[in-house]
């Protein structure tokens, strides 16, 4: 009464916040698993499609739509795979100089590096959304009626997923810097890679 909360109400609010945080984590993990599955399947179908198209050309029976479909699959594979690789710390890096820094120095450098990545991803999203809009009437030559926007949408969607991953990485590195705790390697998400 009169704006004062009872202990039971505060505990209920805390439990609700913990539940919603756990729900968001489960939702994020679900998205990450689906993203990994889509990237795997698009890579497999892409490889099979390019092989079949090459065999068809050598048998004088070219598949005109195969390269357009491969372009579509390649774009989605690249951006979804890049997010999976970033999330699992599987991106290529050279640590000749950085491994000689102190642990705190390495954490500061990682935060700065991911900060630069965040700015780049925001730019990619900012340019990718208008590009997707302007290509909505462009159709593939080999696949009439299929808008080129489905290819260009891979840029803002993939970059948005990478943006979430980069922000979570920055948060994890900052937490490790402040508390001195070790960093979780892949934040509870499946460790399999494509």
- Whether the predicted pLDDT of 184 surpasses 70: no
Please tell me the total count of domains within the chain. 1
Torsion of CA 33, 150, 90, 116, to 10 degrees: -120
Report the pLDDT averaged over residues 11-40: 78
Only one residue has tokens 């490889």, namely: 47
Q: Which residue has the higher pLDDT, 152 or 181?
A: 152
The answer to whether residue 142 sits within a structural domain is: yes
pLDDT at position 1 is: 40
Which domain, by its residues, includes 127?
7-179
Report the pLDDT averaged over residues 28-45: 94
Confidence tier at 16 by pLDDT (50, 70, 90): low
What confidence tens digit (pLDDT) does each residue in 54-83 have?
Answer: 999 999 998 888 888 998 999 999 999 999
- Percent of the residues in the chain that have a pLDDT greater than 90, as a whole number: 58
The answer to whether residue 186 sits within a structural domain is: no
The answer to whether residue 74 sits within a structural domain is: yes
pLDDT at position 15 is: 52
The answer to whether residue 63 sits within a structural domain is: yes
- Model pTM? 0.80
The answer to whether residue 75 sits within a structural domain is: yes
The answer to whether residue 193 sits within a structural domain is: no
pLDDT at position 19 is: 57
The answer to whether residue 190 sits within a structural domain is: no
């Amino acid at each position: 009464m009169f704006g004062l909360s009872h202990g039971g109400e505060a505990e209920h609010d805390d439990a609700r916040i913990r539940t919603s945080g756990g729900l968001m984590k489960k939702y994020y993990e679900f998205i990450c698993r689906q993203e990994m599955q889509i990237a795997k399947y698009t890579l497999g179908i892409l490889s099979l499609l390019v092989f079949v198209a090459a065999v068809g050309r050598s048998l004088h029976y070219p598949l005109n739509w195969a390269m357009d479909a491969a372009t579509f699959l390649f774009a989605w594979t690249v951006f979804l795979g890049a997010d999976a690789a970033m999330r699992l710390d599987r991106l290529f890096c050279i640590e000749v100089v950085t491994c000689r820094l102190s642990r705190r120095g390495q954490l500061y450098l990682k935060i700065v590096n991911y900060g630069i990545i965040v700015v780049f991803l925001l730019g990619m999203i900012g340019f990718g959304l208008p590009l997707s809009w302007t290509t909505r009437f462009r159709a593939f030559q080999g696949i009439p009626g299929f808008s080129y926007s489905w290819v260009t949408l891979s840029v803002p969607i993939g970059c948005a997923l990478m943006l979430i991953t980069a922000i979570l990485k920055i948060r994890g590195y900052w937490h490790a810097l402040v508390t001195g705790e070790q960093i979780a390697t892949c934040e509870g998400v499946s460790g399999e890679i494509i």
